[in-house]
Amino acid sequence: MGFPLSREVSMKKIEHIGIAVKDLELSNELFSKLFGKSPYKTESVESEGVKTSFFEAGPNKIELLEATHPESPIAKFIEKKGEGIHHIAFAVDDIEAEIERLTTNGFIVLNKTPKKGADNKLVVFLHPKSTNGVLIELCQEIKP
């Protein structure tokens, strides 16, 4: 079986893994113990209804997400599935090109226009329905 690989792919490494938590403060303590250091950043993203914190572990990053209100996607996720891995984020060079490439290949892109996410990134999400149940985030660094 062949795959349509005609377009150039700008998807790079896993940028971070997002974990949904009920209580960010408690989870910050827990993950600080786990990694032996504090989060390097905490940030609220009002448009998404989340408070986030970011940890570094070697070359890898973990994002913790807590809902700021009951209608937040994170609140709904926890309600359905409990705490745990919420998404995997991939760094991309050209988010617009990736949206087009993936849409053409049958993936469901949740927001067609990239929005500003945490950690100075433009982000879009792929619907888990189109990716074997895994919520995938694409993120592109916002250049100053």
The verdict on 63 binding Zn ion (CB under 5 A) reads: yes
Q: In whole angstroms, give the CA distance from residue 139 to residue 120.
A: 9
Q: In whole angstroms, give the CA distance from residue 2 to residue 68.
A: 44
The verdict on 78 binding Zn ion (CB under 5 A) reads: no
The verdict on 18 binding Zn ion (CB under 5 A) reads: yes
Q: In whole angstroms, give the CA distance from residue 130 to residue 70.
A: 26
Residue-wise DSSP of 98-133:
HHHHHHHTT--BS-SS-EEETTTEEEEEE-GGGTTT
Which one, 7 or 127, has the nearer CB to Zn ion? 127
The verdict on 114 binding Zn ion (CB under 5 A) reads: no
# residues contacting Zn ion (CB under 5 A):
4
In the chain, what is the greatest distance between 2 CA atoms, to the nearest angstrom?
A: 48
Which one, 6 or 47, has the nearer CB to Zn ion? 47
Q: In whole angstroms, give the CA distance from residue 85 to residue 113.
A: 25
Return the range that interacts with Zn ion (CB under 5 A); candidates 6-14, 34-42, 85-93, 105-113: 85-93
Which one, 48 or 101, has the nearer CB to Zn ion? 48
The verdict on 73 binding Zn ion (CB under 5 A) reads: no
The verdict on 15 binding Zn ion (CB under 5 A) reads: no
| Contact (Cβ atoms closer than 8 angstroms) between residue 56 and residue 36 | no
Return the range that interacts with Zn ion (CB under 5 A); candidates 5-13, 16-24, 29-37, 90-98: 16-24
Name the site residues for Zn ion (rule: CB under 5 A).
Answer: 18, 63, 89, 137
